């Protein structure tokens, strides 16, 4: 099977930095995979995702998405990917419906199709009653849910999530994870970063551990747990690979 995302030897060194944020990474992500990119703070997860979705250019190497070179077909690729950033990337003075209408329009959606899709998503995420309230009046969990809807409103083929459940209550996290699992079932390829390793272990079909800009391990969670001695969970593997030293 052809990978839907093929990263071949990409590197990125930010201006003024002495060490690369991403250092010669090669990855293959296959269609319908739930792929977890795990690593400590500053490991290079966000930079890798930013390069995969075309926000920043890699210093060297090549990224192919859905068979297309990202450096040449970025506008086509943007149509099939969805991003859920770590931050609440919404307009606080706009309501959930207004935010989603705007992002839907940017994907070329309009009229009844867009309205129905927004209604469907709001219903699914339990936000219908508050759809017309300003985002600034929402709780953290509600904001996270709208943040996720904005990334999936156009039903992307590939969904990038950068710590989508950070700082929210158990209920919101649960509903988000349920919906992600459902999307993955409906053949959406998901690339996900998180510090919730128990969550990643449960949800991901494949994980890659990244540290200091390099992929240091890759495989299914069960495979990784079995690969390393005295490791019973993905968290044990993670700590074994990345150490206990605090990161900035």
Partner 1 sequence: MLKFTASIYKEFLVLIRDIGGLIVLFLMPVSMIFIITLVQDSTFRSIKELEIPLLMVNLDHDTMGNVLERGLIESDFFNIDHKMNDKDADEASLKQAVADGDYQIGIVIPEGITDSVRKNSMYRITQVLGEMGMPKDDSIPVKGVVTVRMYFDPVIKKSLKNAAMATVENIINRVEQKFLNKTMTAALSEFPPEKDLPDLIDTPTVTVISNYASKGQYDFVPNSTQHNVPAWTMFAMFFIVIPMSISMIKEREDGSLFRLLTMPGSYFTIISGKVVIYLMVCIIQFILMLAVGINLFPLLGLPKLILGSNIMALSMVVISAAFAAIGYGIMIGSIFKTYQQATSFGSVSVIILAALGGVWVPVYLMPNLMRTISSFSPLNWGLNAFYNIFMRSASLGDVMTDCLKMLAFFVVCLAIGVGMFKIRKEK
User: What's the min distance (Å) between Cβ of 14 and partner 1?
Assistant: 6
> Which residue stretch of 103-111, 176-184, 198-206, 219-227 sits at the interface with partner 1 (rule: CB under 8 A)?
103-111
- Assess 115 for contact with partner 1 (CB under 8 A): no
Bridge partners of 158, per DSSP, are: 81, 189
H or E segment at 179? helix 170-185
User: What's the min distance (Å) between Cβ of 199 and partner 1?
Assistant: 21
Cβ proximity to partner 1, 151 vs 221, nearer residue: 151
CB 213 within 8 A of CB 199: no
Distances (CA, A) of 169 to 86, 125, 152: 16, 14, 21
- Assess 55 for contact with partner 1 (CB under 8 A): yes
- According to CB under 8 A, which residues from 183 to 242 bind partner 1? none
Cβ proximity to partner 1, 105 vs 220, nearer residue: 105
- According to CB under 8 A, which residues from 62 to 91 bind partner 1? 75, 78-79, 81, 83, 85-91
- Assess 56 for contact with partner 1 (CB under 8 A): yes
- Distance (Å, whole) CA 90 – CA 83: 12
User: What's the min distance (Å) between Cβ of 91 and partner 1?
Assistant: 6
- Distance (Å, whole) CA 163 – CA 186: 21
The torsion angles phi and psi of 95, rounded to 5 degrees, stand at -75, 170
Cβ proximity to partner 1, 100 vs 215, nearer residue: 100
User: What's the min distance (Å) between Cβ of 13 and partner 1?
Assistant: 10
Torsion of CA 93, 97, 100, 102, to 10 degrees: -70
User: What's the min distance (Å) between Cβ of 117 and partner 1?
Assistant: 15
Phi-psi region of 186 (alpha: psi -120 to 50; beta: other; left: phi over 0): alpha
> Which residue stretch of 10-18, 125-133, 195-203, 225-233 sits at the interface with partner 1 (rule: CB under 8 A)?
10-18
User: What's the min distance (Å) between Cβ of 30 and partner 1?
Assistant: 22
User: What's the min distance (Å) between Cβ of 163 and partner 1?
Assistant: 12
- According to CB under 8 A, which residues from 147 to 186 bind partner 1? 150-151
- Distance (Å, whole) CA 25 – CA 39: 14
The torsion angles phi and psi of 18, rounded to 5 degrees, stand at -85, -35
Residue count at the site for partner 1 (CB under 8 A)? 36
- The Cβ-side half-sphere exposure at 24, using a 13 Å CA radius, reads 2
- Distance (Å, whole) CA 162 – CA 194: 7
The residue within the footprint of partner 1, chosen from 53, 176, 180, 207 (CB under 8 A), is: 53
Binding site for partner 1 (CB under 8 A): 14-16, 50, 53-57, 75, 78-79, 81, 83, 85-94, 98, 101-103, 105-108, 110, 134, 150-151
């Amino acid at each position: 099977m052809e990978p839907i995302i093929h990263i071949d030897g990409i590197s990125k060194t930010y201006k003024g930095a002495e060490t690369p944020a991403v250092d010669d990474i090669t990855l293959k992500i296959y269609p319908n995979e739930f792929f977890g990119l795990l690593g400590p703070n500053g490991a290079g997860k966000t930079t890798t995702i930013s390069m995969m979705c075309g926000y920043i250019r890699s210093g060297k190497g090549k990224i192919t998405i859905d068979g297309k070179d990202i450096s040449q077909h970025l506008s086509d690729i943007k149509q099939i990917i969805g991003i859920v950033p770590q931050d609440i990337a919404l307009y606080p003075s706009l309501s959930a419906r207004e935010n989603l209408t705007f992002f839907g329009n940017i994907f070329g959606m309009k009229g009844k199709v867009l309205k129905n899709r927004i209604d469907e998503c709001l219903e699914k995420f339990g936000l219908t009653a508050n759809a017309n309230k300003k985002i600034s009046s929402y709780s953290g969990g509600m904001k996270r849910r709208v943040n996720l809807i904005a990334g999936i409103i156009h039903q992307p083929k590939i969904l990038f999530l950068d710590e989508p459940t950070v700082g929210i209550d158990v209920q919101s996290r649960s509903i988000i994870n349920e919906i992600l699992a459902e999307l993955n079932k409906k053949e959406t390829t998901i690339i996900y970063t998180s510090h919730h390793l128990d969550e990643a272990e449960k949800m991901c079909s494949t994980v890659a551990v990244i540290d200091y800009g390099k992929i240091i391990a890759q495989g299914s969670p069960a495979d990784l747990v079995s690969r390393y001695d005295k490791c019973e969970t993905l968290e044990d593997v993670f700590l074994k690979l990345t150490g206990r030293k605090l990161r900035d």
